Amino acid sequence: MDGQQFRSAAHEMIDFIIDYQENIRNRRVLPTVQPSYIREMIPAAAPELGEPWQVIFQDIERVIMPGVTHWQSPHFHAYCPSGHSWPSILADILSDGIGCLGFSWIASPACTDLEVVMMDWLGQLLGLPSQFLACSGGTGGGVIQGTASEATLVALLAAKAKTINRFKSIDSDVDESQIVGRLIAYSSDQSHSSVERAGILAGVRVRLLPSDELFSLRGETLKLAMEEDKAKGFIPFFVTATLGTTQSCAFDDLSEIGPVCHQFENIWLHVDAAYAGSAFICDEYRHYLNGLELADSFNFNPHKWLLVNFDCSAMWLKNANDVVDSFKLDPVYLKSDRQQGQSPDYRHWQIPFGRRFRSLKLWFVMRSYGAEGLRAHIRQQIKLACEFHQLVAKDDRFEIPVPPAMGLVCFRMKGENSLNTTLLKRINDAGRIHMVPAKLRGQFTLRLAVCSRYTESRDIVLTWQEIERHADFLMGQQLKKFFSTAVA
């Protein structure tokens, strides 16, 4: 393919994407293909000779689309949103067009310098304490990670290195493995699995603490656990607080947890707000951040709820040197004449070496929508969740185990778990809408997340009608069973 062929192919691809998005409403949300279905549809080996683009292009609809779960469908209500917008896609096209690896400043100065400023813009929109922002002139700053999982792991590894160094500075002969074996990290039993996984990857214990009746981790619980473990000879060193849990969008009490971590000293507090963090651009939700000034790192995913395409996970550090000092290696081919230290060499802030030009997405999206446009998006999605909540509340066959939060509504049919598992299975088998469950204190619960930016009130009504249709069927079946056993 040459440049001229790319020009026409690219136009065609853009048309395809626009048509796909504009008609996405008409597609079944969940595909019906079987695992490995693609093996049957394409050759077992790469072609020896290149194929014309037109032949390849036709295979998108034939091979790929039957196996796509349509995350941008207005009837997709599973997991959490996957950010998507036209300006963001333009940015990714440009990033691919430039094709740089921005691991150091000189490897592409624009890539690094735009990221520094975009992370300040974004941090200001959220009202983060100024110590987290590079523009404050201190040791803080932001970095774009691929995912929230990486952000948690980076924070955990930095805290681990910092703790080991602290013990070594007291006694240089201290046995490192002895310390590592005593380290203990904490999060709530509602935190995302990536927190526990970070512990496995980092080779340290993670203790999951019980949350309160609203699934929030409280300061007192954390305090007691750390005291207990300290008395047993463990070294508490890391806490992850979650703002907006995956299951029910619960908020750990940062205003209690921050002071507890501060009291204990040398505890790294990381805040995971992967989904709900986007809402903090709105004044009315910013109070969840009270206590953040006592945290060491904060992270949320613009690629979930802020109209930025995957991947773009925004992480801020109060003292970036904690991370840089933990991971820094400078082989000779990376030393440049430039005065190091003015702009960050972001490779020291992350696990991979190479990095894409992801800040373009933030730049294009924040400029195209403006802060007001982004706030309107968040508020609209929360409003739709409220509309759904009202529909559920009117049907007394259903119960709502936790108050709806952000764009998420947890609900279930009154009765056995099995009734609800059957309901959800019927809904997903029909494939017109898609949801995943939560398990809240042993109760199997359905979970409606407002995900697509195309979702409107009429889609919420349609979604509820679809759920009611299956509920009606199940109630009918129960009645039938009741009468047949009564007669027998």
Ligand X SMILES: *Cc1c(COP(=O)(O)O)cnc(C)c1O
84 binds ligand X (CB under 6 A): no
Q: Say if residues 141 and 320 touch (Cβ distance below 8 Å).
A: yes
Window 114-153: contact mask with ligand X (x via CB under 6 A): ---------------------------------xxx----
Q: In angstroms, what is the minimal distance from the CB of 62 to ligand X?
A: 30
Q: Does 194 bind ligand X (CB under 6 A)?
A: yes
192 binds ligand X (CB under 6 A): yes
Least separation in angstroms between CB 192 and ligand X? 3
Which stretch in 54-62, 239-247, 262-270, 354-362 sits in contact with ligand X by CB under 6 A?
A: 239-247
* Complex with ligand X: residue 192 or 470, whichever CB lies closer: 192
Q: Does 206 bind ligand X (CB under 6 A)?
A: no
Interacting residue with ligand X among 80, 107, 308, 366 (CB under 6 A): 80
Is 248 a residue that touches ligand X (CB under 6 A)? no
- 301 contacts ligand X (rule: CB under 6 A): yes
Q: Is 324 in the site for ligand X (CB under 6 A)?
A: no
Catalytic residue, candidates 192, 348, 434, 470? 192
The reply on whether position 82 binds ligand X by CB under 6 A is no
Site residue total, ligand X (CB under 6 A): 15
Nearer to ligand X, 72 or 194 (CB): 194
**From the list 187, 246, 445, 463, which residue makes contact with ligand X (rule: CB under 6 A)?**
246
Tell how strand 183-188 and strand 205-209 pair up: parallel
Pick out residues in 251-290 that bind ligand X (CB under 6 A). 272, 274-275
Compare residues 211 and 301 and give the one whose CB is closer to ligand X: 301
Q: Within 10 Å of residue 181's Cβ, how many Cβ atoms?
A: 13
- Answer whether 311's CB lies under 8 Å from 131's CB: no
Shortest reach from residue 28's CB to ligand X, in Å: 25
Active-site residue, 192 included: yes
Q: Contact between 190 and ligand X (CB under 6 A)?
A: no
Residue 242 interacting with ligand X (CB under 6 A): yes
| Interface residue list for ligand X (CB under 6 A) | 80, 147-149, 192, 194, 242, 244-246, 272, 274-275, 301, 313
Residues with catalytic function:
192
